[in-house]
Amino acid sequence: MGTCCSPECCTVEELRIMRWKAKIDDASGCISLQRIVSTFSRLCRSRTAKIKLTPDKIFLIHTADAIDGPGVQIWNEISQASLFKVFKIESQHANNEILLVINMEQFSRALKSTITASNVTFRLSKRDGTAYLSLVIGMKTITGAVRPVTQEVPITILSSDDVDTTKPPDLPPPEINLYLPHLRVLKPVLERFKALSEVMTVKANNSGDMNLKLATTVVTVETFFKHLENAVWKDGQAPNAATDFPSDPKTFVEANILVKSFFQFIAAHQTDPGSILTGISRDNAVVLICAQPDANLTYYIPVRDDDEQA
């Protein structure tokens, strides 16, 4: 995957002055980034994803495909200050941002080489007409010296117009905000649901109740969760910030979504990441947010309407 002259790719002039250099100078930072990318790669499942570089953040971005379900979007926001000792970016974009497409399997494999590294430096490079994300990995030898090892992952750098149009879904504040039950509890429930139906209903209220339900011509299954903790939405908004928020906290709001989309989020986490916020907007999406010290993962599952369920 290299640079090209199609409308989607950056111009020769944009590429000429486009630079990014970032450095992680400790083993724990290398391990954290590898974990973030590995989880994201399992979530999106498709080979390619976008990386958006900004002066203060990195975004891993996946938009919907047939594998994950129509409309699913994943945004993983990484604060550069939490992982990188050095972070320099230069582009012709008005906000000094860069957008690229990368093979996530290749990127994840390259990052596995950094787990035992003492440091790693990232930069954009070009050779023989192909753009690369280069990783210069500082590996310790038996004598204690650090030996640089270079890994290169082919990329496509997109145009400034693509940078401007690549944004998270613009959704209203959810009507319901709760923390999910532990993933080890949810996973067997969703495994059973996945074997029975394509569509499920998520019902919840702001009194801490959540029900997961499916109904077919043969069977109806419903699982109940009680005493879940209320949450503040990601922008600091209280649950009642939604204009059509139910006045009674015991009133249920429900949304129909694909079982496989919800299950994919649960299955991708090999360890329990801790508290996961779920927001339900009955006409838009079920949004799952996993907040970690070094990254915030947001997973958008679109609501299915009646026609789609037919």
pLDDT on residue 230: 87
pLDDT on residue 4: 43
pLDDT on residue 7: 37
pLDDT on residue 142: 86
Contact 190, 262 (CB under 8 A): yes
- Reported as a single tens digit per residue, the pLDDT across 259-307 is 999 999 988 876 666 678 899 988 889 999 988 888 899 999 999 876 5
Least confident of 98-112, 157-171, 212-226: 157-171
Model pTM?
A: 0.87
Mean pLDDT of the chain: 86
- Reported as a single tens digit per residue, the pLDDT across 111-162 is 999 988 999 999 999 989 899 999 999 998 888 889 999 999 999 999 999 9
Q: How far apart are CA 265 and CA 301, in angstroms?
A: 10
Least confident of 64-68, 72-76, 269-273: 64-68
- Reported confidence tier of residue 99, pLDDT bands at 50, 70, 90: very high
- Reported as a single tens digit per residue, the pLDDT across 102-112 is 999 999 999 99
User: Has residue 84 got a pLDDT over 80?
Assistant: yes
Work out the average pLDDT over 181-196. Answer: 93
User: Has residue 221 got a pLDDT over 50?
Assistant: yes
Contact 255, 278 (CB under 8 A): no
State the CB neighbour count (10 A cutoff) for residue 306: 7
Work out the average pLDDT over 13-23. Answer: 78
